[in-house]
Amino acid sequence: MKPIEQLTFTDDYMFGEVMKNEKICKGVIERLLHIKVDHVELITLQKDISPYYETRGVRYDVYVKNSYKVYDIEMQNKHYSDIEKRARYYQSMLDIDMLAKGASIKELKESFIIFICKTDPFKLGEPCYKTKTAFENHPEKIFDDKTRRIFYNASAYTKESDPELYSFLQFVSTNVPEDDFTGEIFNLVEQNKQDEQFRSEYMRCNLHDYDIMEDGIRQGKQEAKLEAARNMLMENVPIDKIANWQDLPLETVQQLAEELKAPVEQ
């Protein structure tokens, strides 16, 4: 768990807390997309979308929508080799979420999946990557399904010509504010660090995540023990020795033996 005193804007929990501020959220979107945002209706932090219990859910950093557009803004502190598929999956979950709320296909809003990356996601040296879909046999014709996927590379901020976006990407890369807007973000980060409610929630969430991680580790170790016990049973090792060597209840090993229909030696 990262100490609260070392948190910056780009850290997951702090990013979500700062983007809860409507003025900051609007300012970030305006700089990233070069537009003016009239208002935002909803800012949902760490939004979980799991449409069906058996499917893998997706957890958004900040999910914002207004009457016409939906924005998913992701802060990426490390390099992911599968970032293209991540963008695809996030996009599909946005659409499912809108349809689950009663929208028809024709009512699907224009959506933006925006990744703010501290490192270059595609190793091409550009400060921004925008994707579009075209017809293969008519590349001049755009297949406009109203989805937008945009990737920012903060490490290449010196190549950005727009002054406001330059300052924002520089701040993401260096944590040094250079204009009023990034200074406002920096000050809000420092205020949050001193806020008792923020500190308490940060600790609680990290402990919760730690518990989940520990549960996963314990489950993994248990599965490894069971797999080793199955292999030993296949080799006709006595179940009392298996139970002792793998630190498993005798009843558990007996049940595995019955499932494998292996000879049980007392």
Q: 30-62: per-residue pLDDT in tens?
A: 999 998 888 887 777 777 776 554 555 667 778
Task: Provide the mean pLDDT of the chain.
Answer: 85
- In tens, the pLDDT along 113-150 reads 999 999 999 999 999 999 989 999 999 999 999 999 99
> Exposed, middle or buried, 100 (CB in 10 Å: 0-12/13-18/19+)?
exposed
- In tens, the pLDDT along 62-107 reads 888 877 888 999 999 888 788 999 999 889 888 888 888 787 888 8
Sequence spans of domains, the chain:
4-194, 210-260
Tokens of 138: 């008519």
SS3 state of residue 111 = strand
pTM (2 decimals)?
Answer: 0.73
- In tens, the pLDDT along 228-238 reads 888 888 878 88
